Amino acid sequence: MKYSDLLNITQEYGNPVYVYDAEKIISQFNRLTNAFKTVKKLKLNYAAKALSNLTILRLMNNLGSGLDTVSIQEVKLGLLAGFKPESIIYTPNGVSLEEIEEAAALGVRINIDNLSILEQFGSKHPDIPVCVRINPHVMAGGNSNISVGHIDSKFGVSIHQIPHLLRIVELTKMTINGIHMHTGSDILDIDVFLYASEILFETAKNFKELEFIDFGSGFKVPYKDGDIETNIEELGEKLSKRFNEFCKEYGRELTLAFEPGKFLVSEAGYFLAKVNVVKQTTSTVFASVDSGFNHLIRPMLYGANHQIINISNPKGRERYYSVVGYICETDTFANNRRINEISEGDILCFKNAGAYCFTMASNYNSRYRPAEVLWHKGQPVLIRERETFDDLIKNQIDVKDLFEAKNQKAAVK
């Protein structure tokens, strides 16, 4: 997309606004598919939590993707977007047995990550096959906040608990149709990921009725110029070879599954915000925008580095700015960042805003969540309207009489 296209979108739909490039999503999907082209059965299950807009889900379904969901609400969104139940895998964490049963009743694939629920579900529903999430105790991700394969993680059944898991399966007579792991986001070391995969292969040998092995995701994408990223082609070549070997050992072709989220949508996303104030203090120049961590929390929550470009003055002289928001609390997007000279009214573009950005937005400070636009075949398409005051109070109950009665009594006295 051109900067002029982004500026035109702010003119048409206002700001702040999220914009997603459909062609980038498609190219990332094709890149990942091609990396594993030597595997006979490959299934990419898009992680809905990354960006759950219905139109984005429909795009993924149109590409032939399955859907990875973590809540009953995401399951229902997937069904509404046209996914077949069997193309949806439900991988919750810490939810009730009742929610899992509700998902199972909708016909989606079930992935269970703890022994307690596994035993309860298997005892009540032995005829419903389930996948089991394994914790390999391997961290392949670079950020401790988003690595979930370590030994103290709340996710997954420990590999040291496999004997207990097998006892539950034997006693309940349930069927395990899949084995799953997710080591965390920002995979940097392919060899470490392959080591974790070997643990998963070894675990899979304990189950004779598998249909698929799910290797999670967490592929790192570049967030700035020169940034490192997961070498998908190298991973595809090495893991495909080992997976095909395992299928021969196992005795039949299994499906190799992934659940990419960030890899598919992160680089496709742009967040556009207008500069309200340029403020000089004794040591810092602040550029304050009409947004805050209510719209884009990743920099404050994870220390994420989103490249910021002044698309109103992309060739201007670079100066140092700290970009901050309008929330009545510290909400810093970037400290002392070199950005083309900023004037009040300029539009700043935050890159890599497709994954875990709008989905984490809130109404903090009673601010409205922004609009979302899909750039499709050279044209902008509005896929979520900007919130209004009516949206803000929609589910609130204004019990006026509760206090009016008390005020009337006080007046009488």
Whether 142 contacts 148, CB under 8 Å: no
Q: Which residue reads 């805003």 in tokens?
A: 353
How far from chain centre, in Å, is Cα 205? 31
Q: Is 357 a catalytic residue?
A: no
C-alpha span between 285 and 211 (Å, rounded): 57
> Tokens in use for 250?
């196992």
Instruction: Give CA 17 to chain center in angstroms.
Output: 19
Given the residues 247, 328, 349, 357, the one annotated as active site: 328
Under DSSP, is residue 320 helix (H, G, I), strand (E, B) or coil?
strand
Q: Which two tokens stand for residue 191?
A: 């060899």
Please report where in the chains the tokens 């399966």 appear, as a residue: 169
- Spatial separation of the C-alpha atoms in residues 32 and 217, rounded to whole Å: 11
Classify residue 14 as exposed, middle or buried by CB count within 10 Å of its CB (0-12, 13-18, 19+). middle
Cα–Cα dist 64/405, whole Å: 60
- In our burial notation (b when 16+ CB lie closer than 10 A, e otherwise), range 113-125 reads bbbebbbbbbeeb
Between CA 38 and CA 239 the distance in angstroms is 10
What tokens does 42 get?
């490959």
User: Hey, which residues are catalytic here?
Assistant: 328
